[in-house]
Amino acid sequence: MINLTPNEMFSGRTMSVPKRRALNDGPRLGQLELELKQYMQQLTMIDVSVHIQGKLRKLVSAKGAAPIKCGDQAYERAFQRKWNDLIMEGAFTVTKVLPTAVLVE
């Protein structure tokens, strides 16, 4: 469970709280504590579900895309400085294939 208040989660700093409370200043403290506890439980459940989804996510390759092999032709996406510059450069010949990169010449 996360030991932060909602305000600390969203703003990154503690919330200023009044030191004294009169008898007729809004709802009872017990009711406020209960609402805050329920809110924290909901935030914790959301955090746990997001964490589980992130752990279960697998890398999904594009369907129908054949793996790149040495000797294939590849195009490189170029950085566009102006709107009328080329977007793609190539065709380059693939010389080495790694799991996360491709070496071309």
CA dist 79 to 31, 76, 86, 87, Å? 57, 10, 8, 7
| Residue 2 main-chain phi, psi, to 5 deg | -85, 130
Whole-number average pLDDT of the chain: 80
- Residue 59: pLDDT above 70? no
| Residue 59 main-chain phi, psi, to 5 deg | -70, 125
- pLDDT value for 61: 46
pLDDT in tens, 14-23: 777 666 666 6
- pLDDT value for 18: 63
Helices (H), 1-100: 6-11, 29-56
- pLDDT value for 27: 79
Q: What CA–CA distance (Å, rounded) separates 71 from 94?
A: 5
Q: Which residue in 61, 57, 60 sits closest to 49, CA to CA?
A: 57
- Residue 65: pLDDT above 60? no
| Mean pLDDT confidence for 6-25 | 72
| Mean pLDDT confidence for 96-102 | 83
